[in-house]
Amino acid sequence: MLEQFNQYIFSEYGLLVTWLLGVLIGALLIHRLNKALSSFRGKKRQKQGIKAQKKAARLLKKNGFKIIESEPRIQSRLMIDGQIVTFEITPDFMVERDGMKYTVEVKSQSDKNLIRQADVRRQLIEYIKASHVPCILLTMQDQFMTEVEWPEFEE
């Protein structure tokens, strides 16, 4: 029986089947490794985010802000195809200083020009429009705060 198995393995079809099995097993291993690595990176990013949030809270307090709420849930509405749709947004903080409220978005990147990135700008605009208060963009690596408001233009 072993002899028949060896003959099959080394035959033309046997080599093809063996090669295909090897490719399949290799692909499965690569998939599993990618999945594990992705999970590891996600957990690492989450830990960094939590650490940045705690640091941000200390920095906000140091700069005279009172933290009203961490990760507040703010209801917002859009009209989509004639229907009002309600959804929830969650900035990192709702704070107050000198009687003025602000939403706060914390970013761990170190870039004072982060506000120039379209995705960051859109996020801040969404917070401002939904909460009806200005927003503070806080970059943690350089501890830089940018106040962002939506101007009301008079015609």
Average pLDDT over residues 73-87: 93
Which pLDDT score is estimated for 111? 66
Residue 146 has pLDDT above 70, yes or no: yes
Cα distances from 44 to residues 50, 58, 82, in angstroms, run 10, 22, 42
What's the half-sphere exposure (Cβ side, CA atoms, 13 Å) at 24?
A: 6
The Cα 147–Cα 120 span in angstroms is: 13
13 vs 71: which has the higher pLDDT: 71
Domains of the chain: 65-148 (3.90.320.10)
- Band of pLDDT at residue 8, cut at 50, 70 and 90: low
Residues 6+ apart with CB under 8 A from 85: 77, 78, 79
Contact (Cβ atoms closer than 8 angstroms) between residue 107 and residue 120: yes
